[in-house]
Structure 1
Amino acid sequence: MNSSDEEKQLQLITSLKEQAIGEYEDLRAENQKTKEKLISTPGSRW
């Protein structure tokens, strides 16, 4: 594998990592909103 291929792979890995982190943060925020909604709902078990 030459350095150009390695550079492309590194860029791909970096891109996928950033995408995964972004999706994780979105899901975490959505989960937090759901928890807050459940806590504020009368009669909830939270």
Structure 2
Amino acid sequence: MQYVVMRNQCWESDGQGVIMDLAMAMGVAMFGLFGASTAIFLYKLKA
């Protein structure tokens, strides 16, 4: 767990940042797969 120090008190983070990072990474990966498959499809359509 990550801990955030604020006003000499230690608050335990709720993990929202990790979830958002994971969601962002998954979104980028999905967009990349979509773009690559579209490019391959259009390339094969021409040939």
After TM superposition, the score normalised by the length of structure 2 is 0.72
Aligned counterpart, 2:12 = 4
Which ranges of structure 2 fall in alignment gaps of 5 or more residues? 1-10
Flag the structure with higher strand content: 2
Tell me how far 1:17 sits from its aligned partner: 0.1
Give the residue type in structure 1 aligned to 2:44. L
Flag the structure with higher helix content: 1
Tell me how far 1:5 sits from its aligned partner: 2.6
Aligned length: 37
After TM superposition, the score normalised by the length of structure 1 is 0.74
Report which structure shows greater RCO (CA 8 Å, sep ≥6).
Answer: 2
Task: Give the share of equivalent positions with the same residue, in percent.
Answer: 8
Over the aligned positions, Cα root-mean-square deviation in angstroms equals: 1.1
Runs of 4+ off more than 4 Å: none
Which ranges of structure 1 fall in alignment gaps of 5 or more residues? 42-46
